[in-house]
Amino acid sequence: MSNQYIEAFVEDKIGVIQLNRPEVLNALNRQMVDEIVEKLEQYDESEDVRVMMIKGNDKAFAAGADIEEMMDETPLTMELADPFAVWDHITLINKPIIASVNGVALGGGFELALHCDLIVAGESSKFGFPEVQLGVMPGAGGTQLLTKAIGERKALEWIWLGEQMEAREALKLGAINRVVADELVFEESFRLAKQLANQAPISIRLIKESVKAAKDMTLMDGMNLERKNFYLTFASEDQKEGMKAFTEKRSPSFKGV
């Protein structure tokens, strides 16, 4: 698929996806979501990429699903096309994904950020679920991902009221990871991505699997998965390199094998 609504490039093992529909504040139409998912899957497979980033522009990460595209749908056309099912593919991505947010992240735009593992935001960025004001509700994981991130009470209040929340408030609730000056968002996201890209990729991958599993597993099942993943790291050359580098008092160089 050639990309109409995103741009993508790889630098220093960071695979960047830039949302590129500025005339409608990066409103997510179906093709754009398909392009994002396809690129994430390519990056997940690529040996040149260790960490992924999704960014918008100065005004918008994304202002939600494309309302014009959606407005004449019926329950049956939605059910048959099941347009939001493709979002599940993002949940299956193994490498870290960082959302780099300036401007608004609303509705589906906030859901896209919540599908990422870490969210870095500009101080004047705003987050929220305005769907209730359109007579609908979040449909690409918002009620689930936000609730798992910040708990039922705050999630209900936020989604029911449909209000935009300032980045610092979102940070206090634990909905996002870092707030920095607007002009430093990409730089800070990239710095964080590089830090992750320099870690042992197999550890990073197994940590993601184990942490994500904590939400759905019993404590004993989760502990068991963690333990097996710990043992599995000893199959890697990077475990040998990491421990050898420690004893030799030097920085490790990880290869991802």
In this structure, the number of other CB atoms found within 10 A of the CB of residue 216 comes to: 9
Q: Which two tokens stand for residue 193?
A: 């991505």
Is 99 noted as a catalytic residue in this protein?
Answer: no
Binding-residue pattern over the window 233 to 252 for ligand HXC, x denoting contact by CB under 6 A: --------------------
Please classify residue 160 by burial: count the beta carbons closer than 10 Å to its beta carbon, then call 0-12 exposed, 13-18 middle and 19+ buried: exposed
Alpha-carbon torsion (64, 70, 76, 81), positive or negative: negative
Q: How many residues bind ligand HXC (CB under 6 A)?
A: 21
In this structure, the number of other CB atoms found within 10 A of the CB of residue 154 comes to: 16
Choice among 35, 131, 188, 226 that is catalytic? 131
* CB nearer ligand HXC, residue 64 or residue 96: 64
DSSP SS3 for 124: coil
Is 65 noted as a catalytic residue in this protein?
Answer: yes
Choice among 65, 105, 167, 200 that is catalytic? 65
* Interface positions, 175-214, toward ligand HXC (CB under 6 A): none
Counting contacts by CB under 6 A, is residue 84 touching ligand HXC?
A: yes
Distance from CA of residue 171 to its chain's centroid? 16
* CB nearer ligand HXC, residue 50 or residue 126: 126
Choice among 56, 103, 107, 108 that is catalytic? 108
Tell me the window of 10-18, 36-44, 72-80, 104-112 that interacts with ligand HXC (CB under 6 A): 104-112
Using CB under 6 A, which of 27, 40, 53, 155 touches ligand HXC? 27
DSSP letters spanning 15-43: EEEEE--GGGTT-B-HHHHHHHHHHHHHH
User: Cα–Cα distance between 178 and 167 in angstroms, integer?
Assistant: 9
Largest CA distance in the chain: 65
* Interface positions, 114-133, toward ligand HXC (CB under 6 A): 130-131
Per CB under 6 A, residues contacting ligand HXC are 24-25, 27, 63-68, 84, 104, 106-108, 111, 130-131, 134, 138-140
Enumerate the active-site residues. Answer: 65, 108, 111, 131
